[in-house]
Amino acid sequence: MNNFFITTPIYYVNDKPHIGHAYTTIACDIISRFKKLDGENVFFLTGTDEHGQKVEKAAIKSSTNPQDFVNKMSLNFEKLIPFLGCQINDFIRTTEKRHIKATQYLWNQLKDNNQIYLSNYEGWYSVRDEAFYTESELTKNGDQLIATSGAPVEWVKEESYFFKLSHWQDKLINFYEKNPEAILPKSRYNEVLSFIKGGLKDLSISRTTFNWGVPVPNDHKHVMYVWIDALCNYITALGYPNFEKKKYKDFWPGTHIVGKDILRFHAVYWPAFLMAADLPPPKRIFAHGWWTNEGKKISKSIGNVINPYEIIKQYGLDQIRYFLFREVPFGNDGDFSKDSIAQRVNADLSNNYGNLIQRVAIFIVKNCNSKVIKHSKINEEDEKLINFFELKFKEYKNQMQAFQIDRALKSIFELLSETNSYVDKQAPWSLKKTDFERMNNVLFLICNIIIKCSIMLNPIIPESTNKALKIFNIDPLTINFTNFSNMINNDIIITNPKPIFPRIN
Ligand code: MSP
């Protein structure tokens, strides 16, 4: 059995979760559910990033001590996971003992390997991004200098430990040239490679002007830079520094899904830290795009932040999961608009998929005593549809393996449209009067395809497809892709067909 480790970024707890956080978590859930159906042994990790100046400032603003503040805020993220229909294996918090121990161990490894030195940092820092910037990356907005992300920067001058990032430039280039799929999509791979080729400077990795961080071993005047602490979460959760732990052995290196804004940390700093500590770099990093709201950048100051609880209560969980991953190619930016949600849900889920299930299931209940007899007699028309199914299933699997979720969904819906046309053309309601056996055979093929499409859709819309499968008397706990071609080996009994996707007005 293949092992597969997938992670979300760990979320800053300075504020409540919004649609951007929900998006990354659902993406990982979709991929992890797909991998499980495909027979892989999956470990899905998420959690919260609780140190650093940004979180400390938020705690001070709410007049709470930082530990109480992060305890409370982290719960908002933990509780959101089941609400999003996500099934995780571990939730890590960077203020946990296991993590502080792992981070200090990693630091000591870097120190022992002569990768860290003490000097002075003088330059620009953005607390909002928790990132250092060079002068050339800044623009002026009135009197305030701002980074490309739009975040304000401030001048920082303090003693700091540095990581010898510059030493890793050639090794990183070499690694990525040998592993062209280690960063996806391709455009992001090119972007990272050209950034590295542009030259890497040593990285400041400790701060002395605040306390809310992991103490640097043997020099408690310094706390670690929040990103070295945060990135380490991915191996802490696997039991690092205990390499003998089964989890570490089975699951490292893993796959990270991140937003485009934090790609550099994951694709440059993180593999360099790992290699410098004699550990293998991540297997794959996928950078997704950003959502806007009705054409506008999402921001607290505009007041257009999308609350995942509200939007899911309004439209339904699977409706939102489907919309987020069908509307926009995974990797591109997307616009969240209420009109587009309604259009997508009505056209695809209600009309195409939902209506196919309804018309077929109700017909079988009314005309066949709720039962379709298993058979293997097929004609040319059936064979055409079966071949089309085989083709789309193959496309779907390749697309899901490449994280092209929107394209995989498109393949399924092409198949569903074709199946709807087949129903119209074969017209079981006419066959009922002329050739009952042929009618049965047509229905058996249609039910087969509905069941298989439901399984293919299961990683994206699990709750609804489980309902659909139950209508066809298939136990959702038994589904997978490994016995896919000979799965439906019995008569099909229809139970309780109720509409699954009400139309949105
Ligand atoms: N704590 C760091 C990650 C450390 S990982 C070792 C962090 N946290 S975050 O809470 O600010 O952001 C988490 C994720 O949310 C990022 O991947 C970011 O891209 C994503 N999003 C935040 N706003 C978003 C949108 N408007 N749209 C899509 N994703 C967005 O960064």
Cα of 282 from ligand 1 centre, angstroms: 19
**311-355 pLDDT, tens digit each:** 999 999 999 999 999 999 999 999 999 999 999 999 999 999 999
Q: Nearest-CA neighbor of 40 among 322, 250, 321? A: 250
For residue 155, give the DSSP letter.
E
**54-88 pLDDT, tens digit each:** 999 999 999 999 999 999 999 999 999 999 999 99
Please give the model's pTM, rounded to 2 decimal places.
0.96
Distance of CA 4 to the CA centre of its chain: 14
pLDDT at 403 > cutoff 70: yes
Question: Across residues 98-110, what is the average pLDDT?
Answer: 98
Q: Nearest-CA neighbor of 422 among 442, 439, 406, 394? A: 442
SS (H, E, C) 71-136: HHHHHHHHHHHHHCCCCCCEEEECCCHHHHHHHHHHHHHHHHCCCEEEEEEEEEEECCCCEEECHH
Shortest-distance Cα residue to atom 11 of ligand 1: 12
Report the Cα–Cα distance between both ends of the chain, in Å, rounded: 46
pLDDT at 306 > cutoff 80: yes
β-pairing verdict for 144-147 and 138-141: antiparallel
Is-contact 253 282, C-beta < 8 A?
yes
Task: Identify the pLDDT of residue 32.
Answer: 98
CB of 10 closer than 6 angstroms to any ligand 1 atom:
yes
CB burial string 211-220: b at 16+ within 10 A, e below: ebbbbbeeee
Task: Identify the pLDDT of residue 487.
Answer: 63
Measured in degrees and rounded to the nearest 5, phi and psi for residue 118 equal -95, 135
Query: Among the atoms of ligand 1, which is closest to the Cα of residue 231?
Result: 6
- In DSSP terms, 147 is beta-bridged to 138
CB of 324 closer than 6 angstroms to any ligand 1 atom:
no
Q: Which residues have a Cβ under 8 Å from the Cβ of 97 and sit 6 or more positions away?
A: none
Is-contact 371 364, C-beta < 8 A?
yes
Task: Identify the pLDDT of residue 490.
Answer: 87
Q: Tell me the pLDDT band of 236, cut-offs 50, 70 and 90.
A: very high
Cα of 352 from ligand 1 centre, angstroms: 34
Question: Across residues 178-193, what is the average pLDDT?
Answer: 98
**Amino acid symbol at 403:** F
- In DSSP terms, 492 is beta-bridged to 372
Rounded Cα gap, residues 261 and 272, in angstroms: 18
Distance of CA 338 to the CA centre of its chain: 22
Q: Which of 6, 8, 24 to mutate to test the pocket of ligand 1 (most atoms within 8 A of CB)?
A: 24
Tokens of 468: 């659909």
Distance of CA 301 to the CA centre of its chain: 27
pLDDT at 169 > cutoff 80: yes
Q: Tell me the pLDDT band of 450, cut-offs 50, 70 and 90.
A: very high
Omega cis (within 30) before 217: no
Tokens of 205: 């990795």
Task: Identify the pLDDT of residue 303.
Answer: 84
Shortest-distance Cα residue to atom 27 of ligand 1: 290
CB of 33 closer than 6 angstroms to any ligand 1 atom:
no
Task: Identify the pLDDT of residue 67.
Answer: 98
CB of 327 closer than 6 angstroms to any ligand 1 atom:
no
* Site of tokens 């796959």: 255
Question: Across residues 445-466, what is the average pLDDT?
Answer: 97
Q: Which residues have a Cβ under 8 Å from the Cβ of 199 and sit 6 or more positions away?
A: 166, 169
Task: Identify the pLDDT of residue 148.
Answer: 86
Cα of 10 from ligand 1 centre, angstroms: 8
Is-contact 432 357, C-beta < 8 A?
no
**363-392 pLDDT, tens digit each:** 999 999 999 999 888 999 999 999 999 999
Omega cis (within 30) before 215: no
CB of 262 closer than 6 angstroms to any ligand 1 atom:
yes
Rounded Cα gap, residues 252 and 282, in angstroms: 8
CB of 23 closer than 6 angstroms to any ligand 1 atom:
yes
Q: Which of 261, 270, 311 to mutate to test the pocket of ligand 1 (most atoms within 8 A of CB)?
A: 261
Omega cis (within 30) before 241: yes
Q: Nearest-CA neighbor of 7 among 52, 45, 39, 41? A: 45
